[in-house]
Amino acid sequence: MLLMFDEKHKKHLSFLVDIEIIVLQEFCRISLEFIKKGANSKIYESAAKKLGVPADTVQHGVEGLMYLLTESSKLLDSIMTLGFTEETRQELLQQYVDHRREIRSVLSEMAIDLPHYHNLEWRLDVQLASRSLRRQITPTVTMRLETKDGDKTSSQVLQTDPVNLVHLTRCLDDALQEMKSPYCRRIVRNIK
């Protein structure tokens, strides 16, 4: 599977096609610092003076390389479409392999932490009759769902009839079965 690059990213990375391996290693180091700490314009300016190019070109090259390292290094075939030499591709692969844990830990820290399941209590209520309808049976399921968001626990009370609860259960079961498919396993494996 190939990752598709838009023209902007290809243009940013085209600057890196003809540079030496030592310079590429320095660009990788700057990109890793960018991933960890953010942009540093002083580094861009000093690198631009050494290479004799505008600082924007260096900045775009670093940003393009950062995107390449975070998104497409998992899909090695994607690098081939950018016109890099075999030596450059091997260096990019080695840089990614050497620093993939750091990159993934930084990206996981930046991920949104959503509330997750903590506890569920439920009760079944059945109304057997009322004054106007003596033979009416109306079942209701009442649930208290507790979720955790970090150290904070919140509680929601939900009420539904059994037909909707069965439908909801089937939809959730279908989603769980989909997560067991080879396609989803491959995606989850590449995300981690």
Domain parsing of the chain, residue ranges: 7-110, 116-191
142 pLDDT exceeds 90?
yes
77 pLDDT exceeds 60?
no
Question: Each residue of 86-97: pLDDT tens digit?
Answer: 777 777 777 777
Beta bridge partners of 125: 140
Contacts of residue 54, defined as CB under 8 A and 6 or more positions apart, other chains included, come to: 48
| More confident position, 81 or 110 | 110
pTM over 0.85: no
- Mean pLDDT across the chain: 79
- The DSSP code sequence of 164-184 is HHHHHHHHHHHHHHHHTSHHH
| More confident position, 85 or 49 | 49
Over range 79-103, report the average pLDDT. 72
Over range 63-74, report the average pLDDT. 67
- Among the residue ranges 5-9, 40-44, 79-83, the one predicted with the least confidence is 79-83
Q: How far apart are CA 47 and CA 59, in angstroms?
A: 9
17 pLDDT exceeds 80?
no
Q: How confident is the model at residue 166 (pLDDT cuts 50, 70, 90)?
A: very high
The order of strands in the sheet holding 138-149 is 116-127, 138-149, 152-160
- State residue 154's pLDDT score: 93
Contacts of residue 1, defined as CB under 8 A and 6 or more positions apart, other chains included, come to: 75, 77
Over range 39-55, report the average pLDDT. 79
Question: Each residue of 155-165: pLDDT tens digit?
Answer: 999 999 999 99
- The DSSP code sequence of 14-69 is HTTTTS-HHHHHHHHHHHHHHHHH---HHHHHHHHHHHTS-HHHHHHHHHHHHHII
